[in-house]
């Protein structure tokens, strides 16, 4: 006698078998209510033979969409729901089949219709009706298109006006329950524990989910000569409700507010970022600074298909080694760090990929590189980017060398040279706590921003404050700003921007520098470039960069048809700590540069476009985000004074700045 079950929960390898369908060879009308936890799996299947050769019908989840497949013996048919299922919520599937034709509706969505091939219009059902999976799922995969059973719950199945029950027939307890519509056999079925959350109230928008112990062992009918007493048909575990807390909150009921400067992941945590999409078709760079608590875990993953096949990238830890795995659609390449990492220690990893060639850098270890197999060279990623692991409720279920979620802390993520704010840049996340890092104690006063550097940190101070913790107020009598290499001044006044953009520019400024490389000025609508034109990502839009490289003045600009580059060599080195004067004049494609009254340097932009279009601010001395990747220009270490635009418009560098950071005075 089995345990009473009303709503069945399936675990990916579970199934329930019922008697073969009766009087359904020509017409079938079925309703199924289910709550999926993943986007792949078998909902129900039945047919003429156990390998689905010949007649069959099945409902499956593929990429979070419902597909109904059937064959009357002379050719298959298939229909797919126009809408995706809602993971973690109850969905209703309605299917009506009349001979060759099938009508399908998911929830209250649109009806879809399909027709099978061939002359035959009847389906013979000799095999059991399986729900949630099958006892022979491996052999059915070619017909069904999926390799796993359902992960989730089913609370109602009705076929041709008959309601099926997820328990064995017991004439003494339920005389009205026919054996035809009661379970005959099953594997790993438990009671759905959605109601376990009814007494739990998660605060601040947290979501309650129920966790269970591993599913029970196989539960087959035993032959009559078997002497041991069979186990119960179903053995529901005790449900354990858990609150999944949104970003910024933690605790048993998400009652604690956190300062998430450096996020911590506990094995059930993750952060979700927008898909990289077309920005990585031919070029990709990912940089991560992390501290692992174990020797296994998924650091980062993004794919193109929900079943884990096709294009994807993954940064994982396996047996304490960092692995970068990539598939361009024609085969998998896995790069493995030469030496293991140490748990509890901050590590730096960077992966770079151009075409089929990929590189893996970990700390100061030797670089590892390789070529992806096959002939494909483009990377297509359309699903969200996951950091710290892929939750089991996600429609995306990857196939990775490491299956465990990451445990530890992440202090930096940079994509294609652009640092991503780990909290405000995330679309969503769950169970992310605060790492035990100095930045979590908010050491920067007066609105300063804490930048973690391994186990240490530095403060980015707002305009008007300085020192290690932004506690000292800057005296503003002098109007000549000093830049530390991590500083910038930002201007978004339309009067300033219109004098920089358009088809002409006249600029005059003075500066002094203590370093051979440093950004003097940037304006545009793309990434910063070095004077050598090294891009920090996909090709940018219009931009103008003026700075120092190797002690020489460097000009780079793009009007939309390609970059023009000029290195001014008509004077000595300019990183001598002395004041120097720069004059820049541009009319349409041609630019002219003078330094300290020396001979003119001339450069001509390629193409036919003549306008510099701006959708960003003008930056002096650095930028809000200055990537540290190869090819970038660091911030200036020195001073800037006397900026004049359009021959007569003098910019007060301090009072007209919209924002600034780490500014002192010369």
List the structure tokens of 217. 């062992």
Q: Are residues 282 and 429 in the same domain?
A: yes
User: What mean pLDDT value characterizes the chain?
Assistant: 83
Query: Which pLDDT belongs to residue 226?
Result: 39
- Of 141 and 377, more confident: 377
Domain at 455, CATH number: 2.10.25.10
Q: Is the confidence at residue 539, as pLDDT, over 50?
A: no
Query: Which pLDDT belongs to residue 571?
Result: 85
List the structure tokens of 188. 């790993």
pLDDT in tens, 338-371: 999 999 999 999 999 999 999 999 999 999 999 9
Distance, in Å, from the CA atom of 333 to the CA atom of 314, rounded to the nearest integer, reads 11
Q: Is the confidence at residue 527, as pLDDT, over 70?
A: no
Q: In the predicted model, what is the mean pLDDT of residues 463-490?
A: 82
Q: In the predicted model, what is the mean pLDDT of residues 227-234?
A: 39
In eight-state DSSP terms, residue 496 is H
Asked which of 209-218, 227-236, 265-274 is least confident by mean pLDDT, the reply is 227-236
**Torsion over CA: 507, 513, 516, 520 (sign):** negative
Q: Name the residue range of residue 180's domain.
A: 8-192
Q: For residue 319, what pLDDT band results from cuts at 50, 70 and 90? A: very high
Q: Are residues 424 and 570 in the same domain?
A: no
Report if residue 249 sits inside a domain.
no
- Of 2 and 365, more confident: 365
Of 473, 496, 518, which residue constitutes the final position of a domain?
Answer: 473
Q: Are residues 54 and 167 in the same domain?
A: yes
- Of 173 and 23, more confident: 23
- Of 309 and 232, more confident: 309
Query: Which pLDDT belongs to residue 588?
Result: 92
Report if residue 198 sits inside a domain.
no
Number of neighbours of residue 578 by Cβ within 10 angstroms: 10
Query: Which pLDDT belongs to residue 222?
Result: 36
- For residue 140, count CB atoms less than 10 angstroms from its CB and return exposed for 0-12, middle for 13-18, buried for 19 or more: buried
Q: Are residues 83 and 110 in the same domain?
A: yes
Q: In the predicted model, what is the mean pLDDT of residues 99-115?
A: 90
Q: Is the confidence at residue 515, as pLDDT, over 90?
A: yes
Residue 603 vs residues 410, 541, 589: alpha-carbon distances, Å:
44, 19, 8
Q: Are residues 570 and 512 in the same domain?
A: yes
Residue 130 vs residues 121, 157, 569: alpha-carbon distances, Å:
22, 11, 79
How much of the chain, in percent, has pLDDT values that exceed 70? Answer: 86
Domain at 435, CATH number: 2.60.120.200
Q: Are residues 434 and 446 in the same domain?
A: no
Q: Are residues 447 and 433 in the same domain?
A: no
Q: Is the confidence at residue 534, as pLDDT, over 70?
A: no
Query: Which pLDDT belongs to residue 611?
Result: 92
Query: Which pLDDT belongs to residue 137?
Result: 78
Report if residue 242 sits inside a domain.
no
Number of domain units in the chain: 4
Query: Which pLDDT belongs to residue 235?
Result: 44
Q: Are residues 391 and 463 in the same domain?
A: no
Q: Are residues 83 and 34 in the same domain?
A: yes
Query: Which pLDDT belongs to residue 229?
Result: 37
Q: Is the confidence at residue 31, as pLDDT, over 70?
A: yes
Query: Which pLDDT belongs to residue 606?
Result: 93
Q: For residue 293, what pLDDT band results from cuts at 50, 70 and 90? A: very high
Q: Is the confidence at residue 637, as pLDDT, over 80?
A: yes
**Torsion over CA: 570, 572, 574, 577 (sign):** negative
Report if residue 345 sits inside a domain.
yes
Distance, in Å, from the CA atom of 397 to the CA atom of 399, rounded to the nearest integer, reads 7
**In contact, 489 and 620? CB cutoff 8 Å:** yes
Who contacts 498 (Cβ-Cβ below 8 Å, separation ≥6)?
none
Q: For residue 312, what pLDDT band results from cuts at 50, 70 and 90? A: very high
- Of 42 and 1, more confident: 42
Query: Which pLDDT belongs to residue 335?
Result: 96
Report if residue 232 sits inside a domain.
no
Of 429, 452, 473, which residue constitutes the final position of a domain?
Answer: 473
Q: Is the confidence at residue 217, as pLDDT, over 70?
A: no
Q: Is the confidence at residue 232, as pLDDT, over 60?
A: no
Report if residue 238 sits inside a domain.
no
Beta-strand pair 385-387/270-273 = antiparallel
Q: Is the confidence at residue 502, as pLDDT, over 50?
A: yes
Query: Which pLDDT belongs to residue 175?
Result: 58
Query: Which pLDDT belongs to residue 169?
Result: 66
Q: In the predicted model, what is the mean pLDDT of residues 58-62?
A: 93
pLDDT in tens, 422-469: 888 888 888 888 898 999 888 998 888 888 988 999 998 888 888 889
Q: Are residues 506 and 377 in the same domain?
A: no
Q: Are residues 388 and 466 in the same domain?
A: no
Q: Is the confidence at residue 630, as pLDDT, over 70?
A: no
Which range of 266-270, 358-362, 471-475, 595-599 scores highest in mean pLDDT? It is 358-362
Residue 240 bridge partners (DSSP): 211
Query: Which pLDDT belongs to residue 179?
Result: 67
Give the DSSP letter string of 195-258.
GGGGG---STT-EEEEE-PPPP-EE-PPPTT--SPPPPS--PPPPEEEEEPPTTEESTTS-EE-
Q: Are residues 435 and 574 in the same domain?
A: no
Q: For residue 3, what pLDDT band results from cuts at 50, 70 and 90? A: low
Is the pTM for the entire model greater than 0.85? no
Q: For residue 645, what pLDDT band results from cuts at 50, 70 and 90? A: very high
Q: In the predicted model, what is the mean pLDDT of residues 560-587?
A: 92
Query: Which pLDDT belongs to residue 530?
Result: 34
Report if residue 520 sits inside a domain.
yes
Report if residue 250 sits inside a domain.
no
- Of 404 and 373, more confident: 373
Of 454, 473, 492, which residue constitutes the final position of a domain?
Answer: 473
Q: In the predicted model, what is the mean pLDDT of residues 104-132?
A: 89
**In contact, 179 and 167? CB cutoff 8 Å:** no
- Of 33 and 53, more confident: 33
pLDDT in tens, 153-211: 998 899 988 889 887 766 555 555 666 788 888 888 888 865 556 667 888 877 777 65
């Amino acid at each position: 006698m089995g345990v009473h079950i009303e709503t069945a929960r399936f675990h990916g390898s579970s199934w329930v078998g019922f008697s073969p369908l009766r009087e359904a060879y020509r017409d079938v009308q079925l309703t199924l209510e289910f709550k999926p936890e993943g986007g792949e799996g078998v909902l129900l299947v039945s047919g003429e033979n156990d390998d689905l050769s010949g007649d069959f019908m099945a409902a499956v989840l593929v990429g979070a969409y419902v597909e109904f497949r059937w064959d009357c013996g002379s050719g298959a048919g298939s229909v797919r729901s126009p809408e995706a299922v809602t993971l973690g919520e109850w969905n209703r599937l309605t299917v009506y089949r009349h001979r060759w034709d099938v009508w399908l509706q998911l929830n209250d969505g649109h009806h879809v219709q399909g027709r099978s091939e061939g002359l035959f219009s009847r389906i013979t059902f000799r095999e059991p009706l399986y729900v949630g999976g099958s006892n022979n799922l491996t052999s059915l995969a070619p017909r069904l298109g999926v390799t796993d059973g359902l992960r989730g719950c089913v609370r109602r199945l009705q076929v041709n006006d008959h309601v099926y029950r997820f328990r064995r027939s017991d004439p003494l307890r339920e005389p009205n329950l026919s054996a035809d519509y009661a379970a005959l056999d099953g594997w790993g079925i438990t009671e759905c524990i959605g109601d376990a959350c009814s007494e739990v109230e998660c605060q601040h928008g947290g979501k309650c989910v129920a966790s269970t112990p591993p599913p029970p062992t196989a539960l087959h009918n035993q032959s009559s000569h078997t002497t041991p007493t069979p186990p119960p048909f179903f053995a529901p575990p005790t449900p354990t409700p858990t609150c999944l807390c949104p970003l910024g909150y933690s605790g048993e009921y998400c009652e604690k507010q956190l300062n998430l400067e450096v996020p911590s992941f506990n094995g059930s945590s993750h952060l979700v970022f927008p898909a990289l999409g077309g920005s990585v078709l031919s070029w990709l760079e990912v940089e991560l600074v992390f501290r692992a608590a174990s020797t296994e875990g998924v650091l980062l993953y993004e794919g193109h298909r929900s079943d884990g096949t096709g294009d994807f990238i993954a940064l994982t830890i396996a047996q304490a080694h960092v692995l970068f795995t990539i598939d361009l659609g024609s085969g998998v390449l896995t790069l493995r760090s030469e030496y293991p990492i140490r748990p509890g220690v901050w590590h730096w990893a960077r992966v770079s990929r151009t075409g089929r060639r990929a590189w893996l850098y970990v700390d100061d270890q030797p670089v590892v590189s390789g070529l992806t197999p096959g002939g494909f060279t483009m990377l297509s990623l359309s699903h969200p980017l996951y950091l710290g692991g892929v939750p089991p409720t996600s429609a995306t279920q990857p196939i990775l060398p490491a299956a465990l979620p990451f445990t530890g802390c992440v202090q930096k993520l940079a994509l294609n040279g652009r640092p991503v704010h780990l909290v405000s840049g995330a679309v969503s996340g769950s169970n992310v706590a605060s790492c035990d890092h100095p930045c979590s104690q908010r050491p920067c006063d007066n609105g300063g921003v804490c930048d973690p550097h391994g186990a240490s940190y530095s403060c980015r101070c707002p305009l008007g404050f300085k020192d290690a913790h932004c506690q000292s107020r800057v005296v503003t009598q002098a109007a000549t700003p000093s830049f530390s290499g991590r500083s910038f001044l930002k201007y978004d006044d339309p009067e300033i921007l219109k004098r920089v953009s358009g088809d002409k520019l006249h600029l005059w400024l003075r500066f002094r520098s203590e370093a051979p490389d440093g950004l003097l000025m940037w304006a545009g609508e793309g990434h910063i470039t070095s004077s050598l034109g090294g891009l920090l990502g996909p090709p940018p839009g219009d931009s103008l960069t003026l700075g120092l490289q190797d002690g020489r003045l460097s000009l780079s600009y793009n009007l939309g048809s390609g970059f023009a580059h000029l290195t001014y060599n008509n004077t000595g080195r300019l990183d001598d700590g002395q004041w120097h004067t720069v004059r820049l004049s541009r009319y349409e494609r041609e630019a002219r540069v003078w330094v300290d009254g020396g001979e003119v340097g001339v450069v001509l932009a390629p193409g036919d476009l003549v306008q510099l279009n701006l959708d960003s601010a003008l930056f002096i001395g650095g930028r809000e985000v200055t990537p540290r990747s190869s090819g970038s220009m660091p911030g200036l270490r020195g001073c800037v004074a006397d900026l004049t635009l359009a021959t007569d418009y003098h910019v007060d560098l301090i009072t007209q700045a919209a924002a600034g950071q780490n500014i002192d005075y010369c």
